[in-house]
Amino acid sequence: MELKSNAPVGPIEQSWDNHKFELKLINPANKRKYNIIVVGSGLAGGAAAASFGELGYNVQCFCYQDSPRRAHSIAAQGGINAAKNYHNDGDSVFRLFYDTVKGGDFRAREANVYRLAQVSVSIIDQCVAQGVPFAREYGGLLDNRSFGGAQVSRTFYARGQTGQQLLLGAYQALERQIGLGAVKMYPRMDMLDLIVVDGQARGIVTRSLYDGKIEVHIADAVILATGGYGNVFYLSTNAKGCNATAIWRAYKRGALFANPCFTQIHPTCIPVAGEYQSKLTLMSESLRNDGRIWVPKQSGDKRAPGSIPENERDYYLERRYPSFGNLVPRDIASRAAKAECDAGRGVGETGLGVYLDLADAIQRLGKRTIAERYGNLIDMYERITGENPYEVPMRIYPASHYVMGGLWVDYNLMSTIPGLFVLGEANFSDHGANRLGASALMQGLADGYFIIPYTIGNYLATAKPAKVADDAPAAKEAVANAAAITKKLLNGNGKRTADSFHRELGKIVWDYCGMGRNEAGLKKALAQIPVLREEFWKNVRVLGANEEFNQSLERAGRVADFFELAELMCLDALDRKESCGGHFREEYQTPEGEALRDDANYSYVAAWEYQGEGRSPTLTKEPLTFNYVKPSQRSYK
């Protein structure tokens, strides 16, 4: 298969404007003749569904929560980037573009990233107009703070609840369209398959989470905005419900999966406390604005942090990366924390933790200012650990948090299946091998508010989708497939819960395809995963019935998909014989232990194509070219 990025040629500053002008339009009276399905009501899907409704399309929006307002975007804490340059500190569209391409270790498509930086500015205006209560300075202007990988302050925030406030903005816009009848909302619906007719995405199969009813929904185009698959690791900062099912089943219908091994391990999470833990909690990167990261210089030092004098502490990020200090990008901060812990300098009972210390900032700025900036995060930490970060440093450790991999999309956000568009964390588009903090919210809203509303019209105007009946053979076949998976799960009469398999799978992926990867480990994982998957299908026990609210059935289906995805992740990681961003192949590192890219051989997007059960997927490469930001060894020193 040939992958056409459809990225415009010509000066990058004008490419999005020129492209928009060239896109075909649909006149307002005709828009109501088109039906669009949006799966997902987070920032990406919610923004898209609301925008489509506003434009005049008929929209059906699906989510598995009881309300669109509960999408996982609600959990985002620290902020959203935009190149407004309010601080007059040297920011610009080009600098945000530059930082993002470099932050992603030169594995993202330049044209997409430039457009993202351009529209970032409009996102803030849009959200302010919706009433999103961004933090303000004393004079009333919007405030900014800094996030990793940038030397400017460009992160807009609403305390530690930025995602919540942004989602409430998108949700209100969506509800308005629901009220006007332009959008029909389907909460508590699980998308279980994609319907492809004559090579075009024409609908989805859903299962009602209330009563198990399987339904067909037909449309002229399908949008997937179903979030990330970080829960493949079992323990992650994602909500328990986050899953890969929608994109995985679309992959099995022919959508290529790009860079599956590019996952982000976030450096500042509350460390794992015990074997039975099922969820990890993020402490926002914003804390690194004021918190200083350190470990005792002496390995095995078990003294309480307050008893360790200043000269016996190692502020290792400030020492190793004097220019960026505690605000180095996530991949670098995570690896550095792991290296300290591996060398025996980790803190806390397990030794898998480093300190994030607010003491200096409290002394400098006062407790009140720190509480204003991070109060809810500090309270959350105290509730979970029983320790008070105003008095004792927080303990943090890296954890699975975000995925840069996802379904491959072109510049128009269309997958390799015509009519199937993918937005937000579910696509692979803009972050390369490492996402900079505060850039996911920016991408989700850029995709939903500012990109897809243009590109969808062009698709519909050119593809002119014909009518498809609810009982078309492809729809019937997809229904049968979804029902068969459900039946197989319920018919198993084994002894183990799906969760217990998920925990075991997650450990394999974490150990061999986590912060560090190597050939031997990846081969081991590729041998172990199929064995465990077979055991899953033989020995899983799903309680309850299909025709009821049944969360163990819901989970079991997701675990089944994670098994297959985990294998693809390891295959991709094994194939990419270089280190870049979050993909750290231990065999390929600089003498200082930094990621060592191989641009001559691996400057491409790896897109995998499903070939059927039991057969290896095939790899297609989309070459990456860099005309504006010259690839170099990333340095934050």
Ligand X SMILES: Cc1cc2nc3c(=O)[nH]c(=O)nc-3n(C[C@H](O)[C@H](O)[C@H](O)COP(=O)(O)OP(=O)(O)OC[C@H]3O[C@@H](n4cnc5c(N)ncnc54)[C@H](O)[C@@H]3O)c2cc1C
**Per CB under 6 A, 406 contacts ligand X:** no
**Per CB under 6 A, 377 contacts ligand X:** no
Region near ligand X per CB under 6 A, out of 219-227, 314-322, 510-518, 569-577: 219-227
**Per CB under 6 A, 105 contacts ligand X:** no
**What does the alpha-carbon distance between residue 190 and residue 416 come to, in Å, rounded to a whole number?**
23
CB of 63 to ligand X, least distance (A): 3
CB of 524 to ligand X, least distance (A): 28
Q: Of the candidates 282, 326, 338, which has an alpha carbon nearest to the alpha carbon of residue 510?
A: 338
**What does the alpha-carbon distance between residue 570 and residue 524 come to, in Å, rounded to a whole number?**
10
CB of 86 to ligand X, least distance (A): 18
CB of 34 to ligand X, least distance (A): 21
Pick one of 132, 235, 255, 282: the residue that binds ligand X (CB under 6 A): 282
54, 175 Cβ separation under 8 angstroms: no
**Per CB under 6 A, 73 contacts ligand X:** yes
348, 295 Cβ separation under 8 angstroms: no
347, 353 Cβ separation under 8 angstroms: yes
Token readout for 240 is 């328990």
Pick one of 402, 449, 608, 610: the residue that binds ligand X (CB under 6 A): 402
The mark string for 416-435 relative to ligand X (x by CB under 6 A, - otherwise) is --------xxx---------
Pick one of 35, 60, 245, 528: the residue that binds ligand X (CB under 6 A): 245
CB of 348 to ligand X, least distance (A): 21
Helix ranges (H only) for 352-497 are 359-365, 367-385, 440-445, 452-463, 473-491
**Per CB under 6 A, 237 contacts ligand X:** yes
Token readout for 380 is 């959350």
Region near ligand X per CB under 6 A, out of 34-42, 123-131, 133-141, 330-338: 34-42
**Per CB under 6 A, 263 contacts ligand X:** no
Token readout for 401 is 């948090």
28, 20 Cβ separation under 8 angstroms: no
**What does the alpha-carbon distance between residue 71 and residue 42 come to, in Å, rounded to a whole number?**
5
Catalytic residue at 69?
no
Nearer of residues 287 and 571 to ligand X, judged by Cβ: 287
CB of 147 to ligand X, least distance (A): 8
Pick one of 77, 100, 455, 458: the residue that binds ligand X (CB under 6 A): 77
Token readout for 516 is 């560090």
CB of 44 to ligand X, least distance (A): 4
**Per CB under 6 A, 191 contacts ligand X:** yes
Q: Alpha-carbon torsion 468, 463, 46, 51, what sign? A: negative
Nearer of residues 422 and 574 to ligand X, judged by Cβ: 422
Pick one of 12, 36, 44, 55: the residue that binds ligand X (CB under 6 A): 44
**Per CB under 6 A, 75 contacts ligand X:** yes
Q: For 186, which DSSP code?
A: E
Residue 242 identity (one-letter amino acid): C
Region near ligand X per CB under 6 A, out of 237-245, 540-548, 595-603, 610-618: 237-245
Pairing of strands 58-62, 183-186: parallel
Pick one of 16, 52, 64, 602: the residue that binds ligand X (CB under 6 A): 64
Region near ligand X per CB under 6 A, out of 78-86, 109-117, 542-550, 578-586: 78-86
Q: Of the candidates 83, 166, 80, which has an alpha carbon nearest to the alpha carbon of residue 129?
A: 166
CB of 366 to ligand X, least distance (A): 24
Q: How many residues bind ligand X (CB under 6 A)?
A: 47
Q: Of the candidates 208, 277, 276, 207, which has an alpha carbon nearest to the alpha carbon of residue 236?
A: 277
The mark string for 436-475 relative to ligand X (x by CB under 6 A, - otherwise) is --xxxx--x-------------------------------
Q: Looking at beta carbons, which residue is closest to ligand X?
A: 42
1, 416 Cβ separation under 8 angstroms: yes
**Per CB under 6 A, 41 contacts ligand X:** yes
Q: Alpha-carbon torsion 282, 284, 287, 288, what sign? A: positive
**What does the alpha-carbon distance between residue 137 and residue 155 come to, in Å, rounded to a whole number?**
13
**Per CB under 6 A, 405 contacts ligand X:** no
Pick one of 43, 152, 380, 396: the residue that binds ligand X (CB under 6 A): 43
Token readout for 467 is 């009518």
Pairing of strands 221-224, 35-39: parallel
- Considering the candidates 107, 154, 330, 576, report the single residue annotated as catalytic: 330
**Per CB under 6 A, 146 contacts ligand X:** no
**What does the alpha-carbon distance between residue 354 and residue 341 come to, in Å, rounded to a whole number?**
8
Residue burial 235-248, b: 16+ Cβ < 10 Å; e: rest? bbbbbebbbbbbbb
Helix ranges (H only) for 11-145 are 12-22, 28-31, 43-55, 93-103, 110-130
**Per CB under 6 A, 190 contacts ligand X:** yes
Which residues here bind ligand X, judged by CB under 6 A?
Answer: 39-45, 62-65, 71-73, 75-80, 162-163, 189-191, 225-228, 237-238, 242-243, 245-246, 282, 284, 401-402, 424-426, 438-441, 444
Catalytic residues: 330
